[in-house]
Structures are given as structure tokens and as C-alpha cells.
Amino acid sequence: MTKIPEPIASPEPLEASLTHADDRLRLSHWLPPQEGIAPRVRIGRRWVNVFWALPIAGAALMILIALAQSLRELPGVQAFIRQHPGIAQGAPSIDSGFPWWLQVQHFANMLFMLFIIRAGLQILADHPRLYWKRDCTPGTDWFRFQKPVPQGRIWTSKDDSVTIPSWLGIPGVRHSIGLARWWHFSINFLWVINGVIFYGLLFSTDQWRRLVPLTWGVFPAALSTAIQYASLNFPVDHSWTRYNGLQQLSYFTTVFIAAPVSIATGLMQSPAISNALGWFGRVFNRQAMRSVHFISFSWFVFFILAHGIMVFVTGIRENTNHMFAGVENKSWAGFPFFLLAMAILTAAWLLASPLTVRHARLVQRTGAFMIGWLKGLAERWDPHSELTEKDISPHFWANGTMPSSEEYDGLVADEFASYRLRISGLVESPQEFSLAELKAMPKQEQIPTHFCIQGWSGVAKWGGVPMRHILELVRPAPQARYAVFYSLADGADGGRYYDVHQIHNMRHRLTLLAYEMNGAPLSVLHGAPLRLRCENELGFKMVKWVTAIEFVEDFAHLGAGQGGYNEDHEFYGYRMPI
């Protein structure tokens, strides 16, 4: 057993440079708002405004109606519709109507989707571009609501983030991804629980037969229903016992395809999960997954709009009686409950953003309570995935607040000859290392993917000293549970940038103090002279311009006590493997 050292009397002097932080989101201390542009999709080399889809869809709809109406005059089409009236032949009839649990789950689902979609858009606005390849090189995006990346100047990913309105995003403040993520993930958790119960109840009753097409007849039935709807002469509704072909296909897609795809593509954007899955995570890379996640989201929005309109035009009373009262008649039984549900949704919609701004710390704490512990479990997986030299990104986004101090300028001027890495706290042997001493230690190179919380990723080859080697030299005491990394740079809102890591992460093979990037000395932009690599966490935890490492038992006394600068000031979670 190693001997337990006396508690260190004098704390790391840099502790005094950490600042407290507001418990609410204060706009005067925040990244100033920045307008994006109308969303655009790239078709070949041309960027097309997606709002063109509105007049095009309008024109297409008119043509479709005209076409469907003329089609229905043809004897052949009439015979087809007689033969396939809308419900797939042989589709089983449901005896249990719309049971109470289905109504409750349907409402819970609406409420959850409201938060998930809005918070999801807020997350997207933090890096308002989509790509298929993991390197996120400017110009390779296929979708954006931000201008092209400016050339000839440093343009960080924070610079790139845009404001979306507070009725749309949660909380509708530029670069509020920390808070938006708590909403997105906590409500996802509830949504998944609701979904699992829903699947369970579907398949333990006869309700699953509503949604799962059991015969090929669903396709002609869907075509027939589509022609009937499009001709504005709707098929007779039998929703109480059976859905028509079009309902069945669209509900099936939503429940059994879009939902699982969203969950899988969401999780695959996480550094810990993607890196733990090896080749699978490399093939289904973060940007492809992010793009598919967005396409799946687009389906949900399309479905919700179409479904909502159809509820009204096919008979609001019958439909609300089904889903809000569980009765099959033309009374007004369900309508008041429908209005009540809409009132609750509206109130939730209006309150979400202002409450999140005012009670940001509470949102962070509640999120950590609801989902932080579960996300943290992903830290136990081995983030072993590495790439090859040919995968190195031609462009690597930069992020964060650059050091601006005489101390740092002096270090740059003498090419870091006077730089010292100070290691203190609960260690048997506190030490200082010069850059030359660090470079003389065993060197390790690795080519991992970097995952920024904002959504971009990039690949670089990092060279440096494995953290486990440093641990051997300084020998942390048994009660040392965390390593605190102090930067030479301040954070965006003043006070020193720092971040806290669990000690087990420091022992991992790929945890590195890097002084090289792509074979060259680390640039000032990317963290010279020394930056952390920890491959099962998001990028903000990898402190750049590291000046000191302190081993501690607890981090509640540091800064605002949340485990790092962005945790304190931007309400991020301190364990961020997902």
C-alpha cells in the first residue's frame, strides 16, 4: 500500500482565479445574438432556399388534386377503388377501441415531442450545418442556416452558432446548447419510457394489429386512400376498428422506423458510444448520424402537421372522441379534453424558454438528476476507436476563448522555454515539468475523432505524453478522485478556464497530454504548448493551454462547483460521454 500523504495545506494557487457563475442565464454576459439565414440545401454546387418548397408543394398539391379528381372519373380507377376501398383486405378488426392507456400515452407523447423537437432545434442551431463526412470541412455541408464559413480569419465554432427565436428553440438564446441538451435528453428519457410501455401494451393487447400491416394489400389500399384523399372525396373512416392503408403505413413508419432510428442516430453522435463501437462507429460516423437524425426529425414534423390537419378535416369530433374520451360517436365528449390538452401544450410551450433562462441552474441540476447518471455510465466503455493517417481532416474546427495575457505572450515569445506544467494536490510527489522534460518522456501518437458538444467533429493525429505515465511519476493518493486541469486562458465570461475529470479516465490508454497535432508542434489556436485528449468525452472537457493539474477529492469548492468552466458558466454536465 502507498502511504497516505497529509492533506496538502496550500491549494493550487490557480484556484483563486476561478470565478463563480450566475445561476441564471444572463444575456449581458452571454455570446451576443447572431442572425442565421433561411435554411438552404445544397444540390450539386447550388444552395437552394428550402422555403421554395412551400410554393412548390402548393403547386404540386393543386396538380395532385386535379389529377386525382380526373383519375377518379376513369372506370378502371373506380373499379380499383371499389376493389380496394382503403382498408387492406384481411386487416384484422380491433375490438378494444382506443383504451385509456392509449389516450394517456398519446397525450404524453405530444407533450414530450414538443420539448424534444424544440430543444433539438436549439442544439442544431449551435452548429447550423449538416454533413455526411466526419471531418466537417467548410463547403462540404449539404444543409445550413448560416452563411458560408468566412475565409482568411479565425472562425470558431462558437462564432458560427446562430440565434433562433425563443418560441421555437428552448431557450432560444444563442449557444444555449448546455440547457437545450438537458431538456432534449431528460425528455427523451421520459419519451423512451413512454415508448417502451407503449410497445409493451400494444403487443400484449390487440392494438398492435392497427399499426403493423399484415398483408401486402396495405400497398394498393394506401394507393387507393391516397387517390381518395387527394381528390378531396375522402374514404369512409373506420378508425375505431381499423386504419386505412395510408394511416397504417404512416403510423407504422413513425412508431417502428422513425422513433428507433432517432434513438440510434442520437446515441451514435456520442464520443463514448461511437468510439466504443469501433468500425461500426467509423462507418456510421457522427455527421452521417446527425444528418439522418435530422431527416428523421423532419419526418416527425411532417407527420405531426399532416396528422394534425387530418384530425380536423376528417372529423374533429369523432377523432377527439376516439383519442380523448375513448368513445365512438358524434357527441362532444372528447372535444373539451382535447382543448384542455391543447391548453396544457400551449402553456408548456410559452413557459419553457423563459423558465429555462431564469432557472438555468435548476434545469442543469434536474437534467443531471434525471439523465446525467445514465449518460455517465457510457464512460465505462472503452473508447478504443482509432483512425488512420488518410482519415485526418483537411480542416479542423477550432473552438474556445484564446489566451490573452502577458504571461502567455511571454511564453509564446520564448517558444515555451519557460513553460512549466505544475502538478499538485493529492499526490505523493508534486512536480513541475518543462516542455523539454515532457517531450523526453515516452511519446504516444493517436488518431481519434474529436466530438465537440456543438455538433462538429474532426480527425487529427495527436502526439504527446500519456496521462498514465504522469500518474506514475506523481503517484496520486488513494483519496484523489478527480484531476483538475487549469488553462492559461480565461473562459468567455472571465475567470480561468478549467475542467475536472474522474481519475479513472486519466488511466485510460488514450488519455494524452498532447504537444503535437498532425506531426507538427501544437499551434496556439489548438492549445499550445499542451492540451488534453480524453477520447470518451466531448471536446469542451479537453482543456487547451494546460498550465496545471491538481488532484482533488472533491470539486464543489472550485469555481461555481459544477466541475468545469463550461459546467459553471454554460450549464453543461460535468460527465459528458454522450
Ligand X SMILES: Nc1nc2c(c(=O)[nH]1)N[C@H]1C(S)=C(S)[C@@H](COP(=O)(O)O)O[C@H]1N2
Indicate the residue among 497 and 540 with the shorter CB distance to Mo ion.
Answer: 540
Find the shortest distance in angstroms from Cβ 26 to ligand X.
Answer: 19
Show Cβ contacts of residue 59 under 8 Å, excluding neighbours closer than 6 positions.
Answer: none
Q: Does 185 bind ligand X (CB under 6 A)?
A: no
Q: Does 544 bind ligand X (CB under 6 A)?
A: yes
Q: Would you state the torsion angle of the CA atoms of residues 325, 330, 335, 338, taken in this order, to the nearest 10 degrees?
A: 50
Q: In what order do the strands lie in the sheet with 46-49?
A: 46-49, 40-43, 143-144, 129-130
Of these, 319, 399, 444, 505, which contacts Mo ion (CB under 5 A)? 399
CA distance 247 to 237: 11
Q: Does 421 bind ligand X (CB under 6 A)?
A: no
CA distance 119 to 576: 18
Q: Which does 526 bind (CB under 5 to 8 A by kind): ligand X, Mo ion, none?
A: ligand X
Q: Does 555 bind ligand X (CB under 6 A)?
A: no
Q: Cis ω on the peptide bond leading into residue 478 (within 30° of 0)? A: no
Any idea how long the chain is? Answer: 578
Unique residue bearing C-alpha cell 417502428:
256
Contact 102, 163 (CB under 8 A): no
Q: Does 577 bind ligand X (CB under 6 A)?
A: no
Of these, 98, 198, 482, 540, which contacts Mo ion (CB under 5 A)? 540
Contact 34, 162 (CB under 8 A): yes
Q: Which stretch binds Mo ion (CB under 5 A): 52-60, 260-268, 494-502, 532-540?
A: 532-540
Find the shortest distance in angstroms from Cβ 227 to ligand X.
Answer: 52
CA distance 430 to 12: 11
Q: Does 559 bind Mo ion (CB under 5 A)?
A: no
412: Cα separation from own chain's centroid:
37
Report which DSSP code applies to 50. Answer: G
Q: Which does 487 bind (CB under 5 to 8 A by kind): ligand X, Mo ion, none?
A: ligand X
Which residues in 237-296 contact Mo ion (CB under 5 A)?
Answer: none
Task: Provide the 3-class DSSP secondary structure of residue 551.
Answer: strand
Indicate the residue among 141 and 318 with the shorter CB distance to ligand X.
Answer: 141
Q: Which does 489 bind (CB under 5 to 8 A by kind): ligand X, Mo ion, none?
A: ligand X
Q: Does 539 bind Mo ion (CB under 5 A)?
A: yes
Of these, 497, 555, 572, 574, which contacts ligand X (CB under 6 A)? 497
Find the shortest distance in angstroms from Cβ 402 to ligand X.
Answer: 8
The runs of H, that is alpha helices, within 166-231 are 177-204, 208-211, 218-230
Query: Around Cβ 568, how many Cβ atoms within 10 Å?
Result: 26
Q: Which stretch binds ligand X (CB under 6 A): 54-62, 347-355, 395-403, 422-430?
A: 395-403
Nearest-CA neighbor of 315 among 390, 230, 424, 237? 237
Indicate the residue among 372 and 400 with the shorter CB distance to ligand X.
Answer: 400
CA distance 145 to 37: 5
**Whose CB is nearest to ligand X?**
400
Q: Does 574 bind ligand X (CB under 6 A)?
A: no
Q: Does 399 bind ligand X (CB under 6 A)?
A: yes
Q: Does 542 bind ligand X (CB under 6 A)?
A: yes
Which residues in 487-526 contact Mo ion (CB under 5 A)?
Answer: none
Q: Which does 213 bind (CB under 5 to 8 A by kind): ligand X, Mo ion, none?
A: none
Q: Which does 542 bind (CB under 5 to 8 A by kind): Mo ion, ligand X, none?
A: ligand X
DSSP 92-134: PPPSS-S-HHHHHHHHHHHHHHHHHHHHHHHHHTTS-EE-SST
Q: Does 397 bind ligand X (CB under 6 A)?
A: yes
Q: Does 506 bind ligand X (CB under 6 A)?
A: no
Indicate the residue among 225 and 505 with the shorter CB distance to ligand X.
Answer: 505
Q: Which stretch binds ligand X (CB under 6 A): 3-11, 247-255, 375-383, 542-550?
A: 542-550
Instruction: Give the total of residues touching ligand X (CB under 6 A).
Output: 18
Nine-digit cell string for 542: 479537453
Q: Which stretch binds ligand X (CB under 6 A): 59-67, 195-203, 289-297, 541-549?
A: 541-549
Find the shortest distance in angstroms from Cβ 154 to ligand X.
Answer: 10
Name residue 501's beta-bridge partners: 483
Q: Does 500 bind ligand X (CB under 6 A)?
A: no
Of these, 30, 545, 571, 572, which contacts ligand X (CB under 6 A)? 545
Show Cβ contacts of residue 343 under 8 Å, excluding neighbours closer than 6 positions.
Answer: none
Binding mask 423-462 for ligand X (x = CB under 6 A): -----------------------------x----------
Q: Does 30 bind ligand X (CB under 6 A)?
A: no
Find the shortest distance in angstroms from Cβ 400 to ligand X.
Answer: 2
Find the shortest distance in angstroms from Cβ 359 to ligand X.
Answer: 24
Nine-digit cell string for 149: 464559413
CA distance 388 to 393: 11
Find the shortest distance in angstroms from Cβ 175 to Mo ion.
Answer: 10
Contact 230, 68 (CB under 8 A): yes
Strands (E), 149-306: none
Q: Which does 397 bind (CB under 5 to 8 A by kind): ligand X, Mo ion, none?
A: ligand X
Q: Does 487 bind ligand X (CB under 6 A)?
A: yes
User: What single letter denotes the amino acid at residue 109?
Assistant: N
Q: Which stretch binds ligand X (CB under 6 A): 172-180, 212-220, 356-364, 397-405?
A: 397-405
Contact 445, 462 (CB under 8 A): yes
Q: Is 19 exposed, middle or buried (0-12, 13-18, 19+ CB in 10 A)?
A: middle
Show Cβ contacts of residue 262 under 8 Å, excluding neighbours closer than 6 positions.
Answer: 293, 296, 297, 300
Q: Cis ω on the peptide bond leading into residue 171 (within 30° of 0)? A: yes
The phi and psi torsions of 489 (rounded to 5 degrees) equal -100, 150
Q: Which stretch binds ligand X (CB under 6 A): 183-191, 381-389, 425-433, 534-542?
A: 534-542
Indicate the residue among 334 and 448 with the shorter CB distance to ligand X.
Answer: 448
Which residues in 417-476 contact Mo ion (CB under 5 A)?
Answer: 452-453
Contact 363, 179 (CB under 8 A): yes
Which residues of this chain interact with Mo ion, rule CB under 5 A? 399, 452-453, 539-540
Which residues of this chain interact with ligand X, rule CB under 6 A? 396-401, 452, 487, 489, 497, 526-527, 539-540, 542-545
